[in-house]
Structure 1
Protein backbone atom coordinates (compact mmCIF):
# COMPACT_ATOMS: atom_id res chain seq x y z
CA UNK A 1 0.00 0.00 0.00
CA UNK A 2 2.86 2.36 0.86
CA UNK A 3 4.56 1.61 -2.45
CA UNK A 4 1.44 2.54 -4.37
CA UNK A 5 1.14 5.79 -2.43
CA UNK A 6 4.74 6.77 -3.15
CA UNK A 7 4.42 5.85 -6.83
CA UNK A 8 1.31 8.00 -7.19
CA UNK A 9 2.95 10.84 -5.29
CA UNK A 10 6.03 10.65 -7.54
CA UNK A 11 3.91 10.61 -10.71
CA UNK A 12 1.90 13.57 -9.47
CA UNK A 13 5.06 15.56 -8.81
CA UNK A 14 6.45 14.68 -12.25
CA UNK A 15 3.27 15.79 -13.99
CA UNK A 16 3.15 19.03 -11.96
CA UNK A 17 6.80 19.82 -12.76
CA UNK A 18 6.24 19.21 -16.47
CA UNK A 19 3.20 21.50 -16.48
CA UNK A 20 5.25 24.38 -15.08
CA UNK A 21 7.66 24.19 -18.02
CA UNK A 22 4.93 25.30 -20.42
CA UNK A 23 4.40 29.04 -20.91
CA UNK A 24 1.00 30.69 -20.85
CA UNK A 25 -0.11 33.86 -22.58
CA UNK A 26 0.26 36.65 -20.05
CA UNK A 27 3.28 35.17 -18.23
CA UNK A 28 5.77 37.86 -17.21
CA UNK A 29 9.45 37.20 -17.88
CA UNK A 30 12.59 39.28 -17.43
CA UNK A 31 15.38 39.71 -19.97
CA UNK A 32 18.81 39.06 -18.46
CA UNK A 33 22.28 39.78 -19.72
CA UNK A 34 23.46 36.77 -21.75
CA UNK A 35 26.50 34.81 -20.66
CA UNK A 36 27.80 34.89 -24.23
CA UNK A 37 28.52 38.10 -26.13
CA UNK A 38 25.10 38.04 -27.79
CA UNK A 39 21.65 36.60 -27.36
CA UNK A 40 21.38 33.13 -28.87
CA UNK A 41 17.80 32.20 -28.04
CA UNK A 42 16.04 35.57 -27.87
CA UNK A 43 15.97 36.81 -31.44
CA UNK A 44 16.87 40.48 -31.31
CA UNK A 45 18.02 42.19 -34.52
CA UNK A 46 21.71 42.03 -35.32
CA UNK A 47 23.90 45.05 -34.66
CA UNK A 48 24.20 45.95 -38.35
CA UNK A 49 20.40 46.20 -38.66
CA UNK A 50 20.25 48.52 -35.66
CA UNK A 51 23.01 50.71 -37.12
CA UNK A 52 21.21 50.92 -40.48
CA UNK A 53 18.11 52.15 -38.65
CA UNK A 54 20.15 54.82 -36.89
CA UNK A 55 20.06 53.13 -33.50
CA UNK A 56 22.97 52.54 -31.16
CA UNK A 57 24.00 48.88 -31.45
CA UNK A 58 23.91 48.34 -27.70
CA UNK A 59 21.83 45.65 -26.04
CA UNK A 60 22.23 47.12 -22.55
CA UNK A 61 18.89 48.87 -22.99
CA UNK A 62 17.02 45.55 -22.89
CA UNK A 63 18.68 44.07 -19.78
CA UNK A 64 16.22 43.89 -16.90
CA UNK A 65 13.16 44.65 -19.05
CA UNK A 66 9.94 42.95 -18.02
CA UNK A 67 8.24 41.29 -20.98
CA UNK A 68 4.89 39.57 -21.39
CA UNK A 69 4.21 36.42 -23.42
CA UNK A 70 1.69 37.52 -26.04
CA UNK A 71 1.66 34.42 -28.22
CA UNK A 72 2.92 30.84 -28.10
CA UNK A 73 3.97 28.79 -31.12
CA UNK A 74 4.92 25.12 -30.97
CA UNK A 75 6.73 23.49 -33.88
CA UNK A 76 6.25 19.88 -34.98
CA UNK A 77 9.46 18.84 -33.22
CA UNK A 78 8.07 20.08 -29.88
CA UNK A 79 10.12 23.29 -29.68
CA UNK A 80 8.13 26.09 -28.08
CA UNK A 81 8.61 29.68 -29.21
CA UNK A 82 7.08 32.67 -27.49
CA UNK A 83 6.37 36.13 -28.84
CA UNK A 84 7.37 38.73 -26.25
CA UNK A 85 6.17 42.32 -25.84
CA UNK A 86 7.46 44.83 -23.33
CA UNK A 87 5.28 45.06 -20.25
CA UNK A 88 5.35 48.87 -20.27
CA UNK A 89 4.16 48.96 -23.90
CA UNK A 90 7.25 50.67 -25.32
CA UNK A 91 9.21 49.23 -28.24
CA UNK A 92 12.53 47.42 -28.28
CA UNK A 93 15.22 49.76 -29.67
CA UNK A 94 12.50 52.28 -30.49
CA UNK A 95 11.05 50.34 -33.44
CA UNK A 96 10.37 46.67 -32.62
CA UNK A 97 7.09 45.99 -30.86
CA UNK A 98 7.77 42.27 -30.29
CA UNK A 99 10.54 39.68 -30.40
CA UNK A 100 10.57 35.91 -30.70
CA UNK A 101 12.36 33.57 -28.28
CA UNK A 102 12.95 29.85 -27.89
CA UNK A 103 11.26 29.45 -24.50
CA UNK A 104 13.05 26.48 -22.97
CA UNK A 105 16.51 27.23 -24.40
CA UNK A 106 16.43 30.89 -23.36
CA UNK A 107 15.45 29.97 -19.79
CA UNK A 108 18.19 27.33 -19.59
CA UNK A 109 20.78 29.76 -20.99
CA UNK A 110 19.76 32.46 -18.51
CA UNK A 111 18.72 34.92 -21.21
CA UNK A 112 15.19 34.98 -19.78
CA UNK A 113 13.96 34.36 -16.26
CA UNK A 114 10.49 33.99 -14.83
CA UNK A 115 9.39 37.06 -12.89
CA UNK A 116 7.59 36.51 -9.64
Structure 2
Protein backbone atom coordinates (compact mmCIF):
# COMPACT_ATOMS: atom_id res chain seq x y z
CA UNK A 1 0.00 0.00 0.00
CA UNK A 2 2.87 2.33 0.79
CA UNK A 3 4.47 1.70 -2.60
CA UNK A 4 1.19 2.42 -4.37
CA UNK A 5 0.80 5.70 -2.52
CA UNK A 6 4.32 6.86 -3.42
CA UNK A 7 3.88 5.75 -7.03
CA UNK A 8 0.67 7.76 -7.37
CA UNK A 9 2.30 10.73 -5.67
CA UNK A 10 5.22 10.54 -8.09
CA UNK A 11 2.96 10.37 -11.15
CA UNK A 12 0.90 13.28 -9.84
CA UNK A 13 4.04 15.34 -9.37
CA UNK A 14 5.26 14.51 -12.89
CA UNK A 15 1.88 15.44 -14.31
CA UNK A 16 1.94 18.81 -12.54
CA UNK A 17 5.45 19.51 -13.83
CA UNK A 18 4.53 18.73 -17.44
CA UNK A 19 1.35 20.81 -17.23
CA UNK A 20 3.30 23.92 -16.21
CA UNK A 21 5.60 23.85 -19.24
CA UNK A 22 2.81 24.26 -21.80
CA UNK A 23 2.45 27.83 -23.06
CA UNK A 24 -0.91 29.56 -23.15
CA UNK A 25 -2.11 32.51 -25.17
CA UNK A 26 -1.33 35.66 -23.22
CA UNK A 27 1.77 34.34 -21.44
CA UNK A 28 4.58 36.87 -21.17
CA UNK A 29 8.15 35.94 -22.08
CA UNK A 30 11.44 37.85 -22.16
CA UNK A 31 13.92 37.58 -25.02
CA UNK A 32 17.42 37.09 -23.65
CA UNK A 33 20.73 38.13 -25.18
CA UNK A 34 22.24 35.38 -27.30
CA UNK A 35 25.89 34.37 -27.04
CA UNK A 36 26.23 33.48 -30.72
CA UNK A 37 25.67 35.55 -33.83
CA UNK A 38 22.02 34.58 -34.29
CA UNK A 39 19.01 33.02 -32.63
CA UNK A 40 18.55 29.35 -33.47
CA UNK A 41 14.98 28.73 -32.32
CA UNK A 42 13.38 32.18 -32.67
CA UNK A 43 12.81 32.99 -36.33
CA UNK A 44 14.02 36.57 -36.59
CA UNK A 45 14.96 37.94 -40.04
CA UNK A 46 18.51 37.19 -41.13
CA UNK A 47 21.10 39.90 -40.68
CA UNK A 48 21.48 40.51 -44.43
CA UNK A 49 17.74 41.21 -44.70
CA UNK A 50 18.02 43.73 -41.85
CA UNK A 51 20.90 45.52 -43.58
CA UNK A 52 19.00 45.60 -46.89
CA UNK A 53 16.09 47.24 -45.07
CA UNK A 54 18.43 49.93 -43.75
CA UNK A 55 18.59 48.67 -40.18
CA UNK A 56 21.69 47.96 -38.13
CA UNK A 57 22.65 44.32 -38.73
CA UNK A 58 22.50 42.99 -35.16
CA UNK A 59 19.95 41.65 -32.72
CA UNK A 60 20.71 44.02 -29.83
CA UNK A 61 17.41 45.85 -30.27
CA UNK A 62 15.42 42.76 -29.18
CA UNK A 63 17.47 41.91 -26.07
CA UNK A 64 15.27 42.22 -23.00
CA UNK A 65 12.04 42.79 -24.92
CA UNK A 66 8.87 41.49 -23.31
CA UNK A 67 6.76 39.51 -25.74
CA UNK A 68 3.28 38.00 -25.49
CA UNK A 69 2.24 34.60 -26.83
CA UNK A 70 -0.37 35.30 -29.50
CA UNK A 71 -0.89 31.75 -30.78
CA UNK A 72 0.21 28.24 -29.80
CA UNK A 73 0.79 25.63 -32.54
CA UNK A 74 1.55 21.95 -31.96
CA UNK A 75 2.64 19.96 -35.00
CA UNK A 76 2.31 16.21 -35.61
CA UNK A 77 5.74 15.57 -34.03
CA UNK A 78 4.61 17.20 -30.75
CA UNK A 79 6.83 20.25 -31.26
CA UNK A 80 5.25 23.33 -29.71
CA UNK A 81 5.62 26.56 -31.64
CA UNK A 82 4.44 29.97 -30.46
CA UNK A 83 3.70 33.15 -32.37
CA UNK A 84 5.15 36.09 -30.45
CA UNK A 85 4.20 39.77 -30.56
CA UNK A 86 5.81 42.60 -28.62
CA UNK A 87 3.92 43.60 -25.51
CA UNK A 88 4.07 47.32 -26.29
CA UNK A 89 2.55 46.74 -29.75
CA UNK A 90 5.53 47.98 -31.75
CA UNK A 91 7.22 45.92 -34.46
CA UNK A 92 10.46 43.97 -34.29
CA UNK A 93 13.16 45.91 -36.18
CA UNK A 94 10.49 48.33 -37.38
CA UNK A 95 8.90 45.98 -39.93
CA UNK A 96 8.16 42.53 -38.46
CA UNK A 97 4.99 42.41 -36.37
CA UNK A 98 5.25 38.80 -35.18
CA UNK A 99 7.83 36.01 -35.03
CA UNK A 100 7.59 32.25 -34.67
CA UNK A 101 9.61 30.33 -32.08
CA UNK A 102 10.06 26.72 -31.00
CA UNK A 103 8.93 27.09 -27.40
CA UNK A 104 10.65 24.16 -25.68
CA UNK A 105 13.98 24.46 -27.48
CA UNK A 106 14.24 28.24 -27.14
CA UNK A 107 13.54 28.07 -23.40
CA UNK A 108 16.09 25.26 -22.98
CA UNK A 109 18.72 27.15 -25.01
CA UNK A 110 18.19 30.34 -22.99
CA UNK A 111 16.97 32.43 -25.91
CA UNK A 112 13.70 33.13 -24.06
CA UNK A 113 12.67 33.00 -20.44
CA UNK A 114 9.32 33.09 -18.72
CA UNK A 115 8.62 36.37 -17.04
CA UNK A 116 8.60 36.01 -13.28
Deviates more, 1:50-59 or 1:79-88: 50-59
Aligned residue number for residue 29 of structure 1: 29
Normalization by structure 1: what TM-score? 0.96
Deviation at 1:36, TM superposition (A): 2.1
Q: Secondary structure at the match of 1:68?
A: strand
Deviates more, 1:68-77 or 1:33-42: 33-42
- RMSD (Å) for aligned C-alpha atoms: 0.8
Mapping for residues 78-97 of structure 1, pairs under 5 Å:
78-97=78-97
Mapping for residues 19-98 of structure 1, pairs under 5 Å:
19-98=19-98
Aligned residue number for residue 6 of structure 1: 6
Deviation at 1:54, TM superposition (A): 1.1
Q: Which runs of 4+ in 1 moved over 6 A?
A: none
Pairs aligned (count) = 116
8 Å contact from structure 1 (residues 34, 109) kept in 2: no
